[in-house]
Structure formats: structure tokens, C-alpha cells
Amino acid sequence: MNKPDYDELIERLRGVADDYGGQLTEQAEADGYPLYHLDLPGPEGAPHFLLSAGIHGEEPGSTTGFLHWCERDLAKWLHIFHIEAFPCLNPWGFERGNRYDASGRDLNRCFREETPPPAVRMVREVTAGRRYAMAVDMHEDCDYYGFYVYERLEHGPNVAPALLQRIALEGPLSYGEEGDDPPIEQGLVHMPLPPGKSLIALAAGRPQWPLAFYLYHVADHVITVETPGRQPLDVRVRMQRAAAETALHFTQRRLGL
């Protein structure tokens, strides 16, 4: 895709679903666009792995990276994992290069709302009662030249070291910028969990939840990846693909599959 085109995205994802015996299902509508969930069942009893992209419309590398990962890398995982995805959570913003939805809301702050926007409600409804071995939320940071990742775990092992080693083959890691809060150290956002505190307890103390905070309740392991918007799109797409691949390899090993 040269420029973000939601119809083309959905058409290509439908091709992916058809090729691999999965389903692309319309689950909601927002700002005049249908919202989709992609479901690619693996073997009976396979652990579920969740990817989400495009909640911020001005981060096209996340949705485009996800699409390219589907078309090039996905097939080999379907004998191991049950893959689920929300490929583009803010299509209105995606087509306009706008972070927010048509009402000016940052959807990635709405996951604790009682009457949330349709995309948020869809994620909560589809994932309710399910358990994911890992969830990867794909983002970009438009102001950065280097990649970084958020990973907060109550107990290890962390995927970040392997992930950052792999990403560095595609482009620069972020070494942080002045005023970063929390600081970024060699691509890792430094955000240690207070001793004895659970991720659920951490989330409970926050009035607004990004998707990651919601995912703490349904996934054993959650990461948020941020590709650098100041690099060319093809570099960011390769980084997103590499991040998904490393997360899957790591989870496969962690579960002894």
C-alpha cells in the first residue's frame, strides 16, 4: 500500500483468511467503517496469540507491518498457535493519518470506560473469557528515529533482550530523548513494576487504560512495540514483522512447543 487504503487492507486480509482457513469477521462499526477481527485457528487446543494494530491512525506502519507479516510470515505458525488479531482499530484515523477517532478521542485511553467507543467495546467483547499466551500491541512513535518496546512482567523471562537484538538488524534502537518519562534505555522503556505489585493492581490504580492495561487481564504476557516514524515505512514494516516473529518464537520456546 502506497497510501493507507482501508478497503485494500481488508481485501488483502480476506485473502489471508481464505488462504489459511481462517475468518475475517466484521464485529462493529465506527465512524462509518466496519471493524474486523481476524481468527486463524491452529490445531485443537493450541495456545492463543493476539496481535493488535492501528489504534492510533497516524501510525500506519503498525497496520501495514501486520498485513505484511500475515502475507509473508504467518503460515508457519498455524501448526503451533491459534492466531487472533485486530488489524486496524481506527480505520477513520488510518485513512486520514489522524491519531484520534472522528470524535477526537484517543482510543488507547478508553479501555476502562463504562460506555467505550465501538473499537474498544469490540476488543473487550471478543476477548472476554479467552486467555492469550501473549498479546502484542503494534504502535509507532512519530517523533522517534529509533525503535522501542514496553514490557512489564510480574515474573520473567522477558522477550525484550531477544526482540531488541533482532530489531537492531533492521534499523536503529532508541537510546532515549531528552525529557523521556519514563526513560528509554537501548530500546527498552524503563518501567519496573514496584516490588510485590501485580499488573492488575497497577492497572486498578489508573483512571484511564490503554489497550495494554486491559490486556493484562486476558494475556499472560503483553508487549507494546513502537517503530520509529522518522524512518522510512519499509524499515518500520520490517521492524513490525521482526517484532511479531520474535514474540512468537519466544512464546513457542517458553511453552515448550
**Contacting residues toward Zn ion, per CB under 5 A:** 56, 59, 139
DSSP state of 77: G
CB–CB of 237/64 below 8 Å?
A: yes
Cβ-based nearer residue to Zn ion, 54 or 171: 54
Nearest approach, Cβ of residue 257 and Zn ion (Å): 30
Nearest approach, Cβ of residue 139 and Zn ion (Å): 3
Helix (H, G, I), strand (E, B) or coil at 256: coil
Cβ-based nearer residue to Zn ion, 47 or 93: 93
Nearest approach, Cβ of residue 18 and Zn ion (Å): 30
Phi and psi of 44, rounded to 5°? -50, 130
Nearest approach, Cβ of residue 128 and Zn ion (Å): 24
What per-residue string of b and e applies to 10-46 under the rule 16 or more CB within 10 Å gives b? Answer: bebbeebbeebebebeebbebbebebbbbbbbbeeeb
CB–CB of 83/107 below 8 Å?
A: no
Cβ-based nearer residue to Zn ion, 56 or 82: 56
CB–CB of 154/199 below 8 Å?
A: yes
From the list 138, 143, 172, 155, the residue with the least C-alpha distance to 247 is: 138
Nearest approach, Cβ of residue 3 and Zn ion (Å): 19
Nearest approach, Cβ of residue 58 and Zn ion (Å): 8
Cβ-based nearer residue to Zn ion, 82 or 139: 139
Cβ-based nearer residue to Zn ion, 59 or 245: 59
CA 21 vs CA 40, 44, 46, 89: distances in Å: 7, 14, 15, 23
C-alpha span between 55 and 162 (Å, rounded): 26
Nearest approach, Cβ of residue 150 and Zn ion (Å): 11
Encoded amino acid at 239, one letter: M
Cβ-based nearer residue to Zn ion, 52 or 246: 52
Residue with cell 489497550: 211
Cβ-based nearer residue to Zn ion, 42 or 117: 117
